[in-house]
Amino acid sequence: MSDTASTPRSRAREQTMRDIVRIGREHLATDGAAALSLRAVARDLGVVSSAVYRYVESRDELLTLLVIDGYDELGNAVDAALAGVDPADHAARMMAIGRSVRAWALAEPATYALLFGSPVPGYEAPAERTTGPGTRVIGRLVEVWEAAWVAGAIDLPDESVGPRRMSRDLARIRREMGITAPDVVIARGMLAWAGLFGCTSFEVFGQYGADAFAEPKDLFEHHLRVLVATVGL
């Protein structure tokens, strides 16, 4: 529904939903996902606890809203970073994606942990609502790799990636994503995808140790260059 067709009631409801998500993320940062409470959100919203259930029916629904909001915010950050990069500079576009993922994760560690950290006990994100938002970043990475492949800008050996069953899996992925890049690009792309989020997680969750590097960004930049080279860019 467009703004011109919306009613005061619908606009008020949309604002309340935005407030619930905002307060939910504040509680996520201070209390953690497992301790999220609709009663606490209602208190900060300034309504009785029963009123908030008219908007969000359960803690799990609140978690789902936070998951979607987090994925969308991360996806928007990646899109904004790509907006200023030459579409023909495939390596620069992959670097921009990596840097924007790291910057967002460091700015929003609690939400990053909800998306990519340990599962919340008793909660399973509904795939039909979270898969789309959750695959925006890998979608942008795949777009870069496919564009580079079509342009002849990927330099990789024509190597076998594994047993026939793996090739069948990669062929299915190729069909589902509508791309033409060969097995080696898809397989190495998955390594780069896992490596990007692995490096980000190590930094966000303090796995390197507090005093290991004077500037962790330097290590990340090195790793990002290696991941770019991994896919032949």
* pLDDT tens digits along 140-187: 999 999 999 999 999 999 888 989 999 999 999 999 999 999 999 999
- Check whether residue 30 and residue 129 sit in a common domain: no
Judged against a pLDDT cut of 60, whether residue 1 lies above it is answered with no
Cα 97 to Cα 19: distance, rounded to the nearest angstrom: 29
Cα 62 to Cα 195: distance, rounded to the nearest angstrom: 30
66 inside domain:
no
Number of domains in the chain: 2
62 inside domain:
no
DSSP labels, 43-85: HHHTS-HHHHTTT--SHHHHHHHHHHHHHHHHHHHHHHHHHTS
- Check whether residue 25 and residue 84 sit in a common domain: no
Burial class (CB within 10 angstroms; exposed 0-12, middle 13-18, buried 19+) of 131:
exposed
Tallying the residues shown for the chain, one arrives at 233
**Amino acid in position 76:** N
Q: What is the mean pLDDT of the chain?
A: 94
Cα 149 to Cα 182: distance, rounded to the nearest angstrom: 9
Cα 192 to Cα 92: distance, rounded to the nearest angstrom: 15
- What is this structure's pTM? 0.92
- Check whether residue 104 and residue 137 sit in a common domain: yes
Judged against a pLDDT cut of 50, whether residue 2 lies above it is answered with no
- Check whether residue 18 and residue 97 sit in a common domain: no
- Check whether residue 37 and residue 80 sit in a common domain: no
pLDDT per position as a tens digit, 29-76: 999 999 999 999 999 999 988 889 999 999 999 999 999 999 999 999
DSSP labels, 132-176: HHHTHHHHHHHHHHHHHHHTT---------S-HHHHHHHHHHHHH
pLDDT per position as a tens digit, 195-222: 999 999 999 999 998 888 889 999 999 9
Q: Which CATH number is 25's domain given?
A: 1.10.10.60
Q: Which CATH number is 150's domain given?
A: 1.10.357.10
- What is the extent of the structural domain holding 43? 1-57
- Check whether residue 109 and residue 214 sit in a common domain: yes
- Check whether residue 176 and residue 104 sit in a common domain: yes
Span 107-112, mean pLDDT?
97
- Check whether residue 24 and residue 104 sit in a common domain: no
Of the candidates 57, 80, 96, which is a domain's last residue?
57
64 inside domain:
no
65 inside domain:
no
- Check whether residue 34 and residue 147 sit in a common domain: no
63 inside domain:
no
